[in-house]
Amino acid sequence: MVAPVDPNDRVVIGITFGNSNSSIAYTVDDKAEVIANEDGDRQIPTVLSYVDGDEYYGAQAKAFLVRNPSNTIAYFRDFLGKDFKSIDPTHCHAAAHPKDVSGHVSFTVKDKPQGEDDEEVELSTVSIDDAATRYLRRLVTSASDYLGKTVTSTVITVPTNFTDKQREALTKAANAAGLEVLQLVSEPVAAVLAYDARKEAVISDKIVVVADLGGTRSDVTVVASRGGMYTILATVHDYDFAGVHLDNALMDHFAKEFIKKHEVDPRSNARSLAKLRLESEATKKALSLGTNAQFSVESLADGFDFSSTINRIRYEMVARKVFEGFNRLVESAVKKAELDVLDVDEVIMCGGTSHTPRVANNLANIFPETTTVLAPATSAVAINPSELQARGAALQASLIQEYEAADIEQSTHAAVTTVKHITNAIGVVTVGADGETFTPVMQAETAVPARRTIHVAAPKNGGDVLIKVVEGGTHIKVTKAEPKPEQNGDDDDSDFDSEEEDEETREKLWKIGSPLAEAAVKGVKAGAASKVEVTINVLGDLSVTITAREVGGKGGVRGTITA
């Protein structure tokens, strides 16, 4: 255990520690920057490799998956704090295999130097916790070298389905690497923080979907952001649609081409398979930027070199099933939150796979035009999806670094996920020429305690103004477009017309729910400018206080409804 560091002596960074990649970030002048390690990488592969007693990490270690797989530890983050029985070792197939050491996940690797007399090097057992510590130590060394001072403390991001045991294991592993862990923040919230921290950001009440599409897993989270408080409404975790599945699609594509030419399957031996995988991933990344990409491997199998090209359209065809999977995931998360796509104000795309233009465009298509999809392909102001979480972690670290460790624990414990919130919107009903209208004052899912104020225009003639405060719900109104009248002599495009007839317009409408209170504000001045101010205050026990008064006037009414 690392002793709490004096707040004045802290040097803090944010860390994202993924199964595929990790990143380190720090803040300078309230802006978060992701640090490039000594290899120049900002996305640092979460891989360790041992060659003749030397430890390699990151991109160098990942390259050893071809020549030295059995001494290369990869894709291990999710194993932290888990029993051997409950892990899925699929992705370690072409790397050091996880072993069962009394129920605990371990790896056996040759991490000692070769002796003089050429004896076989002894195998060492490296527990999952040790592997995490060794890797985190490399990240921290890198950050310390970059910053020119020793990093003492950190905020690390974790998936929302990390158990307490996993969080504990991660904290311990970081402590063993000499790091004080100020806080573990959930990955999607870190992504939201990175966007909300921008100078130009307007912190409004909004529903945000965070689509974190990584290498071995995809996590979709629906977050209600209410006055700077974040409530997680639903999460979906998936291990069948992620970056490696896109790699697989390309691997199959190029393997088939290779077989046609040389009658040998590069997937049938481990080393060829590893080469095929690495190059397929590189080609995939190139296709996020360009519409054409090269695939080229020396001595891919049986001594044959292989090079080919692929264009984006072809890629999108061979990987179509995976792309469709991403859409279904996001749709299922929205549904799980009992919301409609029309309720979603913003989609934040993060994780490396979010660079893929087709993935972002497909998602943009399932949401209405009013929903902002923040990804490089769909928005000019998108932040690099691979950097979002590290930036969020760094921002959070710089926010809380001045507090004593004990205070941080108290004030920030689980603040994000378990706060109480109101189920229905609360708003004001006003009566006008078109009947009653509902104006929301406080959105559904607002974390409590909370307070909101609106101004309602008073009737022109003044007098007593009746304010009805009610709960509001929404419903989706579907309108079928009117069939177009036949156009004479122009039947050529009748096919198109019939398609349009099926088109539906869907809009979100407010529904007036159960009444909470009525208040009469007496003797409001006449005049177009006269207004009534309504303040709704919901306390932690969900009791509601409503205050209504004339703007600029004296007095007013006030009432409390118990929960």
DSSP 302-324: TTEEEEEEEEHHHHHHHTHHHHH
Considering only residues 209 to 238 of the shown chain, the ones binding ligand ATP according to CB under 6 A are 214-217
81 binds ligand ATP (CB under 6 A): no
Tokens for 72, please give them: 């290369």
CB 180 within 8 Å of CB 208: no
Tell the smallest beta-carbon distance from residue 21 to ligand ATP (Å).
4
Window of 16-24, 93-101, 270-278, 329-337 that interacts with ligand ATP by CB under 6 A: 16-24
DSSP 250-300: HHHHHHHHHHHHHS--GGGSHHHHHHHHHHHHHHHHHHHH-SEEEEEEEEE
Window of 65-73, 87-95, 206-214, 522-530 that interacts with Mg ion by CB under 5 A: 206-214
d(CA 336, CA 60): 41
Tell the smallest beta-carbon distance from residue 348 to Mg ion (Å).
13
Closer by beta carbon to Mg ion, 384 or else 543: 384
d(CA 46, CA 510): 48
58 binds ligand ATP (CB under 6 A): no
214 binds Mg ion (CB under 5 A): yes
Window of 55-63, 99-107, 240-248, 458-466 that interacts with ligand ATP by CB under 6 A: 240-248
288 binds ligand ATP (CB under 6 A): yes
Window of 12-20, 101-109, 252-260, 514-522 that interacts with Mg ion by CB under 5 A: 12-20
d(CA 429, CA 456): 10
User: How many of the chain's residues bind ligand ATP (CB under 6 A)?
Assistant: 22
Window of 166-174, 212-220, 239-247, 554-562 that interacts with Mg ion by CB under 5 A: 212-220
User: How many of the chain's residues bind Mg ion (CB under 5 A)?
Assistant: 2
Print burial letters for 16-32: b (CB count within 10 Å at least 16), e (below 16).
bbbbbbbbbbbbeeeeb
18 binds Mg ion (CB under 5 A): yes
d(CA 17, CA 181): 13
Say which residue the tokens 């691997």 belong to.
251
Site string for Mg ion, 221-250 (x = CB under 5 A): ------------------------------
Window of 59-67, 197-205, 242-250, 459-467 that interacts with ligand ATP by CB under 6 A: 242-250
Residues 180, 281, 387, 445: which binds ligand ATP (CB under 6 A)?
A: 281
Closer by beta carbon to ligand ATP, 58 or else 472: 58
Tokens for 425, please give them: 């919107």
* H/E element, 520: strand 504-524
Looking at residue 415, the DSSP 8-state letter turns out to be T
Looking at residue 119, the DSSP 8-state letter turns out to be P
Closer by beta carbon to Mg ion, 190 or else 339: 190
Site string for ligand ATP, 365-404 (x = CB under 6 A): ---------------------x------------------
CB 62 within 8 Å of CB 73: no
Q: Which residues contact 161 (CB under 8 A, 6 or more apart)?
A: 219, 235, 237
The contact set with Mg ion (CB under 5 A) reads 18, 214
Chain residues in the site for ligand ATP (CB under 6 A): 18-21, 43, 214-217, 242-244, 281, 284-285, 288, 351-353, 355-356, 386
